[in-house]
Amino acid sequence: MKLIYTDSQFVPRWLSGLTLSMALIAMISTGLGCASHEDSATMKEARALNEETQALARQLETRLDVIADDLTARLKQASHASSAEHSAEHSAEHAEVHAEEHAEDASESVEHTAGLAELHWAENLEVIESLGDRLAAWSANQVLLPGQTCNHDHGDGHAHNHGTAMNDLSDEDHLELQEAIRAELDAMIAELDKLTP
Protein backbone atom coordinates (compact mmCIF):
# COMPACT_ATOMS: atom_id res chain seq x y z
CA MET A 1 0.00 0.00 0.00
CA LYS A 2 1.36 3.37 -1.00
CA LEU A 3 0.96 6.32 1.27
CA ILE A 4 0.40 9.94 0.27
CA TYR A 5 1.84 12.71 2.32
CA THR A 6 -0.67 15.55 2.94
CA ASP A 7 -0.39 18.10 5.73
CA SER A 8 1.66 15.94 8.02
CA GLN A 9 -0.50 12.84 7.63
CA PHE A 10 -0.08 9.75 5.60
CA VAL A 11 -3.26 8.60 3.76
CA PRO A 12 -3.64 5.55 1.57
CA ARG A 13 -3.79 6.61 -2.10
CA TRP A 14 -7.08 4.79 -2.90
CA LEU A 15 -8.77 6.42 0.08
CA SER A 16 -7.73 9.91 -0.88
CA GLY A 17 -8.86 9.36 -4.50
CA LEU A 18 -12.23 8.05 -3.36
CA THR A 19 -12.68 10.88 -0.89
CA LEU A 20 -11.77 13.49 -3.47
CA SER A 21 -14.14 11.92 -6.01
CA MET A 22 -16.99 11.84 -3.51
CA ALA A 23 -16.33 15.40 -2.44
CA LEU A 24 -16.29 16.54 -6.06
CA ILE A 25 -19.55 14.71 -6.84
CA ALA A 26 -21.19 16.17 -3.74
CA MET A 27 -20.12 19.71 -4.68
CA ILE A 28 -21.34 19.34 -8.24
CA SER A 29 -24.68 17.78 -7.31
CA THR A 30 -25.24 20.32 -4.54
CA GLY A 31 -24.44 23.13 -6.92
CA LEU A 32 -26.73 21.75 -9.59
CA GLY A 33 -29.47 20.81 -7.15
CA CYS A 34 -29.62 24.28 -5.67
CA ALA A 35 -29.59 26.03 -9.01
CA SER A 36 -33.18 26.55 -10.09
CA HIS A 37 -34.07 27.14 -13.71
CA GLU A 38 -35.52 30.60 -14.09
CA ASP A 39 -37.74 31.17 -17.12
CA SER A 40 -36.85 34.03 -19.40
CA ALA A 41 -39.17 37.02 -19.57
CA THR A 42 -40.41 35.73 -22.93
CA MET A 43 -41.20 32.26 -21.51
CA LYS A 44 -42.94 33.86 -18.52
CA GLU A 45 -45.08 35.84 -20.97
CA ALA A 46 -45.85 32.65 -22.93
CA ARG A 47 -46.86 30.83 -19.72
CA ALA A 48 -49.05 33.74 -18.58
CA LEU A 49 -50.72 33.88 -22.00
CA ASN A 50 -51.26 30.11 -21.89
CA GLU A 51 -52.92 30.29 -18.45
CA GLU A 52 -55.13 33.18 -19.56
CA THR A 53 -56.06 31.37 -22.76
CA GLN A 54 -56.98 28.17 -20.91
CA ALA A 55 -59.19 30.17 -18.50
CA LEU A 56 -60.96 31.83 -21.46
CA ALA A 57 -61.42 28.42 -23.10
CA ARG A 58 -63.13 27.10 -19.95
CA GLN A 59 -65.39 30.18 -19.91
CA LEU A 60 -66.24 29.69 -23.59
CA GLU A 61 -67.06 26.04 -22.98
CA THR A 62 -69.40 27.02 -20.15
CA ARG A 63 -71.07 29.70 -22.29
CA LEU A 64 -71.58 27.24 -25.14
CA ASP A 65 -73.13 24.66 -22.79
CA VAL A 66 -75.52 27.20 -21.23
CA ILE A 67 -76.60 28.62 -24.60
CA ALA A 68 -77.05 25.15 -26.12
CA ASP A 69 -79.20 24.08 -23.17
CA ASP A 70 -81.30 27.26 -23.46
CA LEU A 71 -81.82 26.90 -27.22
CA THR A 72 -82.69 23.22 -26.88
CA ALA A 73 -85.27 24.03 -24.21
CA ARG A 74 -86.77 26.83 -26.35
CA LEU A 75 -87.04 24.56 -29.37
CA LYS A 76 -88.60 21.78 -27.32
CA GLN A 77 -91.09 24.20 -25.77
CA ALA A 78 -91.93 25.72 -29.16
CA SER A 79 -92.40 22.26 -30.64
CA HIS A 80 -94.82 21.28 -27.88
CA ALA A 81 -96.68 24.60 -28.16
CA SER A 82 -96.91 24.24 -31.92
CA SER A 83 -98.38 20.73 -31.62
CA ALA A 84 -100.92 21.91 -29.06
CA GLU A 85 -101.89 24.96 -31.16
CA HIS A 86 -102.30 22.85 -34.29
CA SER A 87 -104.57 20.43 -32.44
CA ALA A 88 -106.62 23.29 -30.93
CA GLU A 89 -106.91 25.02 -34.32
CA HIS A 90 -108.08 21.84 -35.98
CA SER A 91 -110.83 21.41 -33.34
CA ALA A 92 -111.78 25.07 -33.57
CA GLU A 93 -112.09 24.84 -37.37
CA HIS A 94 -114.65 22.10 -37.11
CA ALA A 95 -116.57 23.89 -34.33
CA GLU A 96 -116.66 27.29 -36.05
CA VAL A 97 -116.73 26.98 -39.79
CA HIS A 98 -117.51 30.67 -40.29
CA ALA A 99 -114.74 32.41 -38.24
CA GLU A 100 -113.78 35.95 -39.06
CA GLU A 101 -110.99 36.47 -41.61
CA HIS A 102 -109.30 39.04 -39.41
CA ALA A 103 -108.82 36.51 -36.59
CA GLU A 104 -107.34 34.00 -39.08
CA ASP A 105 -104.91 36.58 -40.44
CA ALA A 106 -103.74 37.45 -36.92
CA SER A 107 -103.33 33.78 -36.07
CA GLU A 108 -101.30 33.15 -39.25
CA SER A 109 -99.07 36.14 -38.43
CA VAL A 110 -98.36 34.80 -34.95
CA GLU A 111 -97.63 31.32 -36.35
CA HIS A 112 -95.29 32.80 -38.98
CA THR A 113 -93.39 34.79 -36.33
CA ALA A 114 -93.16 31.74 -34.07
CA GLY A 115 -91.88 29.67 -37.00
CA LEU A 116 -89.20 32.25 -37.76
CA ALA A 117 -88.12 32.25 -34.11
CA GLU A 118 -87.85 28.45 -34.13
CA LEU A 119 -85.82 28.55 -37.32
CA HIS A 120 -83.51 31.20 -35.83
CA TRP A 121 -83.03 29.15 -32.65
CA ALA A 122 -82.31 26.01 -34.67
CA GLU A 123 -79.72 27.83 -36.78
CA ASN A 124 -78.09 29.26 -33.65
CA LEU A 125 -78.02 25.82 -32.06
CA GLU A 126 -76.17 24.46 -35.11
CA VAL A 127 -73.59 27.25 -34.79
CA ILE A 128 -73.22 26.57 -31.05
CA GLU A 129 -72.72 22.84 -31.66
CA SER A 130 -70.18 23.57 -34.39
CA LEU A 131 -68.29 25.93 -32.08
CA GLY A 132 -68.34 23.27 -29.36
CA ASP A 133 -66.82 20.74 -31.76
CA ARG A 134 -64.18 23.24 -32.86
CA LEU A 135 -63.35 24.11 -29.26
CA ALA A 136 -62.93 20.42 -28.38
CA ALA A 137 -60.60 19.91 -31.36
CA TRP A 138 -58.70 23.10 -30.50
CA SER A 139 -58.28 21.96 -26.89
CA ALA A 140 -57.13 18.46 -27.85
CA ASN A 141 -54.45 19.78 -30.19
CA GLN A 142 -52.61 22.14 -27.86
CA VAL A 143 -48.84 22.45 -27.86
CA LEU A 144 -47.47 22.13 -24.35
CA LEU A 145 -44.94 24.53 -22.94
CA PRO A 146 -41.70 23.08 -21.55
CA GLY A 147 -42.42 21.37 -18.24
CA GLN A 148 -46.18 21.11 -18.85
CA THR A 149 -47.70 17.67 -18.70
CA CYS A 150 -51.34 18.54 -19.22
CA ASN A 151 -53.37 21.69 -19.88
CA HIS A 152 -56.90 20.67 -18.94
CA ASP A 153 -59.08 19.19 -16.22
CA HIS A 154 -59.63 15.44 -16.13
CA GLY A 155 -62.85 15.66 -14.14
CA ASP A 156 -65.15 15.18 -17.11
CA GLY A 157 -64.21 11.54 -17.68
CA HIS A 158 -63.29 11.97 -21.33
CA ALA A 159 -60.13 10.70 -22.96
CA HIS A 160 -57.67 13.49 -23.56
CA ASN A 161 -54.83 14.19 -25.92
CA HIS A 162 -52.14 15.58 -23.67
CA GLY A 163 -50.76 17.79 -26.38
CA THR A 164 -47.50 17.81 -28.17
CA ALA A 165 -44.38 18.86 -26.33
CA MET A 166 -42.05 20.99 -28.42
CA ASN A 167 -39.28 21.56 -25.91
CA ASP A 168 -36.73 22.22 -28.64
CA LEU A 169 -38.43 25.49 -29.68
CA SER A 170 -36.97 28.79 -28.58
CA ASP A 171 -38.80 30.87 -25.99
CA GLU A 172 -39.76 33.34 -28.73
CA ASP A 173 -41.21 30.49 -30.82
CA HIS A 174 -43.23 29.28 -27.83
CA LEU A 175 -44.61 32.79 -27.29
CA GLU A 176 -45.50 33.09 -30.98
CA LEU A 177 -47.23 29.71 -30.85
CA GLN A 178 -49.21 30.72 -27.75
CA GLU A 179 -50.27 33.93 -29.53
CA ALA A 180 -51.51 31.89 -32.52
CA ILE A 181 -53.39 29.51 -30.21
CA ARG A 182 -55.01 32.51 -28.50
CA ALA A 183 -55.97 34.04 -31.86
CA GLU A 184 -57.84 30.84 -32.77
CA LEU A 185 -59.74 30.97 -29.48
CA ASP A 186 -60.48 34.69 -29.90
CA ALA A 187 -61.95 33.95 -33.35
CA MET A 188 -64.34 31.39 -31.85
CA ILE A 189 -65.36 33.83 -29.10
CA ALA A 190 -65.99 36.56 -31.71
CA GLU A 191 -68.16 34.15 -33.73
CA LEU A 192 -70.22 33.38 -30.64
CA ASP A 193 -70.55 37.08 -29.80
CA LYS A 194 -72.00 37.76 -33.28
CA LEU A 195 -74.96 35.45 -32.67
CA THR A 196 -78.22 37.21 -31.95
CA PRO A 197 -80.46 35.78 -29.25
Where exactly are the structural domains of the chain? 41-78+123-194
User: Whole-angstrom Cα distance, residue 124 to residue 132?
Assistant: 12
Distance in angstroms (rounded) separating the CA atoms of residues 191 and 185:
10
What are 8-64's pLDDT values in tens digits? 555 455 445 545 455 555 555 444 444 457 899 999 999 999 999 999 999 999 999
Task: Quote the DSSP letter at residue 167.
Answer: T
189, pLDDT greater than 90: yes
Mention every residue, 6+ apart, whose C-beta is less than 8 A from residue 143. 163, 164, 165, 166, 177, 181
Average pLDDT, stretch 108-130? Answer: 79
pTM score: 0.62
